[in-house]
């Protein structure tokens, strides 16, 4: 394998020790760090993600609780529940697991989590803060992508970063964070004509689409850093958007799926929860 493996599992384990220490220090000051996760309905993938978040909390000594709500809940009831949780002074972070069942308005529900408790960084205030370079909560997945690139020493300033995908939770914030690091950024999406002509120019290539193996070796520049955000299931097996086996022979750095960005996402969520608790303590 030519490429350096950007190992999200290893990186997140390194972070666990530091995070557990921060949680302990808060506990010694009488503060229990608390996260409340709201899960609506019974989507199996969401149940797995919520369980992983819960386990991560337990590992660090964060008090994590999951609020289960029925899939046929009304918008009003959901928003009332979020208002109630967010008003609870003992809770540092509130997370609404997405996607919501059909018929519920995600954007409206997310506005019921105030920016300081929005540990997912999805409130428009936090998105605006990222846009303007102000202090705010950064969404966990793109934050994890940047942590990974920086920790593995991937050169960023002046380099061409190509982000494939333009969602509000991954593609757009990843592009803004890369821009903050002085990359020259191109954002591609489903209407992009001749996608390979863009990806082949990338020194840093972030794939955030959700199509198994769509980034093939011929679409990658020799020595590029390839970050695979995609999570797909093929024949019951997890895989990313990148044809890992072929691309690893050409790239300079590559993140695997599983064991890559997914691990970083949970680690960054924990970081955002601890940050929120520390900020509340110093208020």
Tell me whether residue 53 is one of the annotated catalytic residues.
Answer: yes
Rounded distance, CA 51 to CA 49, Å?
5
The stretch among 114-122, 126-134, 161-169, 267-275 that binds ligand NDP (CB under 6 A) is 161-169
- 202 backbone φψ class: left, alpha, beta (φ>0; ψ -120 to 50): beta
- Rounded to 10 deg, the angle between the 44-60 and 261-282 helix axes is 50
Of the candidates 91, 170, 175, 215, which one interacts with ligand NDP according to CB under 6 A?
A: 170
What's the gap between Cα 209 and its chain centre?
Answer: 14
HSE value, Cβ hemisphere, 13 Å, CA-based, for 121 = 29
CB 121 within 8 A of CB 272: yes
Of the candidates 261, 268, 270, 274, which one interacts with ligand NDP according to CB under 6 A?
A: 261
Structural element, H or E, at residue 133: none
| 210 to 249: interface string for ligand NDP, x by CB under 6 A | xx-----------------xxxx-----------------
The residues facing 138 across adjacent strands are: none
Tell me whether residue 180 is one of the annotated catalytic residues.
Answer: no
The residues facing 160 across adjacent strands are: 184
The tokens for 19 are: 């995070």
Rounded distance, CA 202 to CA 90, Å?
45
Closest-CA residue to 264 (of 226, 218, 228): 228
The tokens for 223 are: 């020595």
Of the candidates 65, 190, 197, 216, which one interacts with ligand NDP according to CB under 6 A?
A: 190
The stretch among 22-30, 70-78, 101-109, 158-166 that binds ligand NDP (CB under 6 A) is 158-166
Closest approach of ligand NDP to the CB of residue 52, in Å:
10
Closest approach of ligand NDP to the CB of residue 73, in Å:
23
Nearer to ligand NDP, 136 or 230 (CB): 230
**Does residue 166 interact with ligand NDP by CB under 6 A?**
yes
Nearer to ligand NDP, 81 or 221 (CB): 221
Tell me whether residue 102 is one of the annotated catalytic residues.
Answer: no
**Does residue 47 interact with ligand NDP by CB under 6 A?**
no
Q: Which member of 118, 120, 203, 228 is catalytic?
A: 120
Of the candidates 167, 180, 186, 201, which one interacts with ligand NDP according to CB under 6 A?
A: 167
Give the helix ranges, DSSP H, for the chain: 8-28, 44-60, 75-87, 106-110, 124-132, 140-151, 171-180, 195-199, 244-247, 261-282
Closest approach of ligand NDP to the CB of residue 32, in Å:
26
3-class DSSP state for residue 160?
Answer: strand
Closest-CA residue to 264 (of 19, 2, 1): 19
**Does residue 146 interact with ligand NDP by CB under 6 A?**
no
Q: Which member of 19, 97, 203, 250 is catalytic?
A: 97
**Does residue 262 interact with ligand NDP by CB under 6 A?**
yes
Rounded distance, CA 256 to CA 244, Å?
7
Closest approach of ligand NDP to the CB of residue 88, in Å:
27
Closest approach of ligand NDP to the CB of residue 280, in Å:
26
* Catalytic site positions: 53, 97, 120
Residues at the interface with ligand NDP (CB under 6 A):
141, 164-167, 169-171, 188-192, 195, 208-211, 229-232, 261-262, 265
């Amino acid at each position: 394998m030519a490429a350096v493996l950007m190992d999200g599992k290893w990186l997140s384990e390194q972070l666990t020790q530091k995070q557990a220490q921060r949680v302990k220090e808060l506990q010694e000051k009488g503060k229990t760090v608390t996260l409340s996760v709201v899960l609506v309905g019974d989507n199996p993938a969401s149940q797995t993600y919520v369980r992983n978040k819960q386990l991560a909390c337990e590992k660090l000594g964060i008090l994590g609780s999951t609020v289960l709500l029925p899939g046929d809940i009304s918008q009003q009831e959901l928003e009332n529940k979020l208002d109630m949780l967010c008003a609870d002074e003992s809770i540092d972070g509130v997370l609404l697991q997405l996607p919501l069942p059909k018929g519920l308005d995600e954007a409206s529900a997310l506005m019921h989590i105030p920016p300081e408790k929005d540990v997912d960084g999805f409130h428009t205030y936090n998105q605006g803060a990222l846009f303007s370079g102000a202090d705010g909560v950064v969404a966990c997945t793109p934050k994890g992508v940047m942590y990974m690139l920086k920790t593995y020493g991937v050169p960023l300033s002046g380099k061409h970063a190509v982000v494939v995908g333009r969602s509000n939770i991954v593609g757009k914030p990843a592009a803004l964070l890369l821009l903050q690091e002085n990359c020259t950024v191109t954002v591609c999406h489903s209407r992009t004509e001749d996608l390979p002509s863009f990806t082949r120019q990338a020194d840093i290539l972030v794939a955030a689409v959700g199509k198994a193996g769509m980034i093939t070796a011929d679409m990658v520049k020799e020595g590029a850093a390839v970050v695979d955000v995609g999570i797909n299931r093929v024949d019951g097996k997890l895989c990313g958007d990148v044809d890992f086996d072929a691309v690893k022979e050409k790239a300079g750095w590559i993140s695997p799926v599983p064991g890559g960005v997914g691990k970083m996402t949970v680690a960054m969520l924990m970081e955002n929860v601890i940050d929120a608790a520390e900020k509340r303590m110093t208020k």
